[in-house]
Amino acid sequence: MTDHDTDHETLAARARAWLAEDPDPDTRAELSALLAGGDLAALAERFAGTLQFGTAGLRGEMGAGPMRMNRAVVIRAAAGLSAYLRGTGADGGLVVIGYDARHNSAAFARDTAAVVTGAGLRAALLARALPTPVLAFAIRHLGAVAGVMVTASHNPPRDNGYKVYLGDGSQIVPPADADIAARIAAVGALADVPRPGAGWETLGEDVVDAYLARSGAALTGGSPRSVSVVYTPMHGVGRPVLTAAFARAGFPPPVDVPEQADADPDFPTVAFPNPEEPGAMDLALAAARASSPDLVLANDPDADRCAAGVPDPAAEGGWRMLRGDEVGALLATHLVRRGRRGTFAASIVSSSLVGRIAAAAGLPYEETLTGFKWLGRVPDLAFGYEEALGYCVDPEGVRDKDGITAALLLAELAAEEKERGGRTLGDLLDDVAVTHGLHATDQLSVRVADLAVIADAMARLRSAPPRALGGLAVASAEDLAAGDGGLPPTDGLRYRLTGGGAVEAARVIVRPSGTEPKLKCYLEAVVPVATHEALPQARATAASALAAIRRDLADAAGLTA
């Protein structure tokens, strides 16, 4: 027998051992067919290792085997989490479990509830498929020791995920992720994991009502409510909660995008159910052109992100989607106007504009690594955001990004501007640019089939850092993996560029995505603006600078722009 034959037999033996304890008839049938057909390539994909538990929990394609999301993987994850909680003194504590409308989400949530109950903890399932921010709220509201949300957020329909929160309502950070991962690895046979068929609680609508009451409290009493909105939940779970939130707050009912209004785990109208992806907002913008609202709003499928579109005569079709950084600046401006005190924060890949807004208001500002697992832990947080459409506008209620409450505040702000002589959110962004400088942002985002492409690009940039990008000298190059910049170590690079000509300064950050097979490069150019009349030229200057930086960065990283 050759080594090749031995490898094949070892692979088949691993698959048969997994099959023997797989509790799901669907994945058992999948694995049985692969074994019977001798599909060694497909088996190797599923058994090349194990799906790694990290600070985003678990996320991956559904299917059989340890490299896929399935009931066996979820049971082990729940057992490891339960062991971690018991080992940290939370024995008997409450774990709240939520889930979205993706394929298998409800089953994964029930498995988690069974494992948690069998481990001697209390488990409570949310009443139905609900947005992630409702789960994050419920943890703090109910005094839970942890929470689990079964969701893959805006990933493709073939994926699912498992997001873990601790008792403060924030997502896990090191070293908790490594400790939980070690507990998962130590789980033995699934038959030895107690999984009673009952014993957990199913929460009622009172938790949703409490979330809605808290979300409404984030608004200003007596502020205008006359605003028309087109809204899409992107085939996700946001619509019932958002429409209820709007009704409670006194806003007119949003106009639905009918093709995307109902939860559908197959996401039939979009290639990727993410408002940032090309084409994802086409139906919503078409509905806006038909009904002429004041604002377009969108949530991603688990409704923790919020996107906004505004009327713009200069844009194709008369509408344009705002960048996440623009929405962050609008929300920060709104909260400053209302007298919000405390620390404003943004991730390092987000625009530096919110820092200027906070400084002008005499408020502290802090930058964190990417992700609300870091933003949610900023002391005395008043507002936090990241450019990927994530906004925390009520940290005491939800210590995570919340697309429902952010949508409420954007509607309130749009109503206020409308009352000021028919102004739009675009008009307010112009005011912000004149006051604080035009902060233009862009991305170079490369989706790959082979993760080695990302590793090679990062290695190339580390071995030969660029000295200039877009004609602007690189003033400093920080390797964030070394903990440069006063932040915890992370796989990323940050370049600060000197100004030149009409460009005051620029900045570039390069990092692998934490949730998708992408290399993401975040670009910013700052151009001073003296008057509103000077804005068109400033935008042209910034666009030219960003395009040049993008081209040079792609070349330096060995990528195609």
Q: What is the set of active-site residues?
A: 153
Q: Are 124 and 94 in contact (CB under 8 A)?
A: yes
Query: Which helix (H) or strand (E) covers residue 5, if one does?
Result: helix 3-21
From residue 228, alpha-carbon distances to 292, 324, 424 in Å are 8, 21, 12
Q: Which of 487, 218, 511, 520 is nearest to 377 (CA)?
A: 487
User: What is the Cα–Cα distance from 457 to 480, expressed in whole angstroms?
Assistant: 15
Q: What share of the chain is helix, strand, coil (3-state, %, to 5)?
A: 40, 20, 35
Two structure tokens written together for 144: 């839970």
Compute the distance between CA of residue 354 and CA of residue 330 in angstroms, rounded to an integer: 9
Instruction: State how far the Cα of 250 lies from the Cα of 55, in Å rounded to an integer.
Output: 38
Strands 146-150, 94-99: pairing kind: parallel
Using an 8 Å Cβ cutoff, are 525 and 534 in contact?
A: no
109: number of Cβ within 10 Å: 24
CA distance 53 to 56: 7
Residues 170/377, Cβ–Cβ less than 8 Å: yes
Residues 500 and 517: their CA atoms lie apart, in Å, by 35
In angstroms, rounded to a whole number, what is the distance separating the alpha carbons of residues 527 and 503?
A: 5
CA 65 vs. chain centroid, Å, equals 26
